[in-house]
């Protein structure tokens, strides 16, 4: 993903703030222990003097100094753990604190960007923060069945169960979802429910309306001054843990769109990266509008969920106006 210097520095500042916050928490904990656990400070401070002493021995040719140092440090560590336990503190109370244990809040693992750094990039470049505000209201905890009846209710209940299984087994089971049906029946809402669950679990999620997705691909494809950005956006579309394409069919469909759409679906399938698509098109309209190979790819590799019923958004507006 391509960032300019300002964007990169913004993310780096976030990591610095995390490190400072967690360092401050650890300092407060250490001060608490020093004040309430007799002998702990002395053990802590003796580590430096013992290390210096054994270091001098090692430089003087004492080949056993290093092993002796390891033994002494182990004894000190065990003594400190015993003092903490006796005072009622958790054994890990003074261990380093990290928001991301994988990269230890550096953003990098072995010189490569950590998944948390990539999600920060996605959040910045694709305005994921705006989605997050929407997801505060649109999530499984706010889900309601009151707008559905009969067959519409059964379909929605089945779709919800599919979504919950999708989110719960995301790391274990590669799957894709395709929501289709009438306008305003909860397709985008269910995509958002899944997005919230996966984002909170540390997965990278990219959301695009179909119009926005193909406009971005078109802009970068025909702007030859931005080939680096083109490579970046393709990489993100193919590599992110979950790609959500909302309102498929609202874009202007042509050969370019059809080609790019198939390329995206095919590449993500090869890489076993999950995709969620929502559309107001019927399956027949989907087949007529796009190529047979796209229709085949979706019907073969996606769990199909049909949603029907009244337009919930209109229903809510009318209810507010009462």
Tens of pLDDT, residues 180-217: 999 999 999 999 999 988 887 878 888 888 998 888 77
Q: Bigger pLDDT: 119 or 26?
A: 26
Inform me whether the pLDDT recorded for 321 exceeds 70.
no
Residue 128 pLDDT = 46
Beta-carbon neighbour count of residue 247 at 10 Å?
20
3-state SS, 281-293, equals: CCHHHHHHHCCHH
Q: How far apart are CA 247 and CA 278, in angstroms?
A: 5
Contact 175, 182 (CB under 8 A): no
Structure tokens at 149: 């009846």
70-92 residue pLDDT tens: 999 999 999 999 999 999 999 88
Residue 21 pLDDT = 96
Q: How far apart are CA 248 and CA 98, in angstroms?
A: 40
Contact 50, 72 (CB under 8 A): yes
CATH number belonging to the domain at 126-321, selected among 3.40.140.10, 3.30.70.360, 3.30.1540.10, 3.40.50.300? 3.40.50.300
Domain with CATH 3.40.50.300 in the chain: 126-321
- Cα–Cα nearest to 15, from 158, 144, 116, 93: 116
* pLDDT tier at 32, thresholds 50, 70, 90: very high
125-138 residue pLDDT tens: 555 445 666 677 77
Beta-carbon neighbour count of residue 279 at 10 Å?
22
Q: How far apart are CA 184 and CA 247, in angstroms?
A: 11
Is the full-model pTM beyond 0.75?
no
Inform me whether the pLDDT recorded for 227 exceeds 60.
no
Q: By three-state DSSP, how is residue 209 classified?
A: strand
Contact 96, 22 (CB under 8 A): yes
* pLDDT tier at 230, thresholds 50, 70, 90: low
248-292 residue pLDDT tens: 999 988 898 899 899 899 999 999 999 999 999 999 999 999 989
Among 29-38, 58-67, 201-210, top mean pLDDT goes to 29-38
Q: How far apart are CA 294 and CA 278, in angstroms?
A: 15
Average pLDDT over residues 139-161: 92
């Amino acid at each position: 993903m391509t960032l300019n210097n300002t964007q990169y520095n913004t993310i780096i500042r976030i990591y610095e703030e995390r490190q400072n916050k967690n360092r401050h928490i650890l300092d407060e904990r250490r001060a608490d222990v020093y004040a309430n656990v007799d002998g702990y400070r002395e053990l802590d401070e003796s580590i430096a003097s013992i290390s210096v002493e054994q270091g001098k021995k090692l430089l003087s040719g004492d080949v056993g100094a290093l092993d002796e140092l390891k033994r002494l440090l182990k004894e000190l560590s065990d003594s400190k753990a015993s003092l903490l336990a006796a005072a009622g503190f958790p054994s890990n109370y003074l261990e380093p604190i990290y928001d991301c244990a994988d990269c230890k809040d550096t953003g990098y693992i072995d010189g490569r960007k950590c998944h948390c750094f990539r999600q920060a990039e996605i959040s910045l470049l694709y305005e994921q923060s705006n989605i997050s505000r929407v997801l505060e209201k649109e999530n499984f905890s706010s889900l309601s069945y009151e707008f559905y009846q009969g067959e519409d209710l059964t379909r929605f209940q089945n779709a919800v169960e599919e979504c919950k299984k999708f989110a719960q087994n995301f790391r274990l089971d590669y799957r894709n979802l395709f929501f289709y049906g009438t306008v305003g029946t909860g397709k985008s809402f269910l995509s958002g429910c899944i997005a919230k669950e996966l984002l909170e679990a540390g997965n990278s999620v990219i959301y695009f309306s179909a119009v926005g997705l193909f406009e971005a691909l078109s802009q970068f494809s025909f702007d030859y001054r931005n080939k680096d950005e083109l490579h970046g956006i393709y990489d993100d579309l193919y590599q992110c843990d979950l790609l959500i394409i909302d309102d498929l069919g609202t874009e202007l469909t042509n050969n370019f769109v059809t080609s790019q759409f198939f390329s995206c679906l095919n590449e993500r399938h090869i890489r076993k990266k999950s995709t969620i698509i929502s559309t107001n098109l019927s399956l027949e309209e989907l087949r007529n509008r796009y190529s047979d190979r796209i229709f085949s790819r979706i019907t073969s590799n996606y769990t199909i969920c049909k949603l029907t019923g009244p337009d919930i958004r209109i229903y809510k507006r009318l209810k507010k106006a009462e």
